[in-house]
């Protein structure tokens, strides 16, 4: 065969870039009031950085109804209160998301997940792991989008949740 005598050198991958170790999310403690149904608990065990807060009344891309919290992919995302899984799915903006419905007209939404760990209409106690953080949908880096609404109106989660549990 023509070219059969041509042997390529084995491919060598040489890089000076550091290789990041795998990310392992740790299991945290559930809130003391596991039956609480008003969103009051921080949804992450991992320390994160607030990269964007709530912006009300902005036009188009300026409006932002929740918090963006930078955390590594695979960080545990917990229900901020007891609830029922109202909706979950894959949205062009929020990527993989979970919407929880709480009593008193409250809803909490968790977006840009890498994995969803709950089922539709399932009851979820406060502090239960509902997903893993990621960078799905319209996202430029791994983070959790965390949103709280009451009667359809966005609230600033920082006015309700206890940071750091």
The model scores a pTM over 0.75: no
Between CA 132 and CA 72 the distance in angstroms is 10
Does residue 66 contact residue 108 with C-beta atoms inside 8 Å?
no
Q: At the top level of CATH, which class does the domain 49-159 belong to?
A: mainly beta
Tokens of 83: 């609830």
Please name every residue paired with 154 in a beta bridge, in sequence order, or none if there are none: 149
First and final C-alpha spacing in the chain: 70
**Domain-wise residue ranges, the chain:** 49-159
**pLDDT-based confidence at residue 46 (cuts at 50, 70, 90):** confident
110-121: per-residue pLDDT in tens? 999 999 999 999
26-37: per-residue pLDDT in tens? 434 444 444 577
């Amino acid at each position: 065969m023509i070219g059969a005598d041509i042997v390529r050198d084995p491919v060598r991958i040489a890089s000076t870039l550091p290789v990041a170790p795998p990310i392992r999310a740790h299991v945290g403690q559930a809130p003391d009031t596991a039956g609480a149904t008003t969103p009051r608990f921080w949804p992450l065990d991992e320390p994160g950085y607030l990269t964007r807060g709530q912006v009300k009344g902005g036009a188009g891309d300026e409006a932002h109804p929740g918090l963006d919290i930078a955390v590594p992919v695979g960080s545990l995302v917990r229900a901020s209160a007891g609830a029922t899984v109202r909706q979950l799915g894959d949205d062009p903006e929020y990527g993989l998301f979970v919407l929880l419905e709480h009593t008193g007209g409250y809803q909490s939404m968790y977006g840009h997940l890498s994995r969803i760990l709950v089922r539709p209409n399932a009851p979820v106690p406060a502090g239960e792991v509902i997903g893993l953080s990621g960078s799905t949908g319209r996202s430029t880096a791994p983070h959790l989008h965390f949103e709280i609404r009451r009667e359809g109106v966005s609230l600033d989660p920082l006015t309700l949740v206890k940071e750091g549990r």
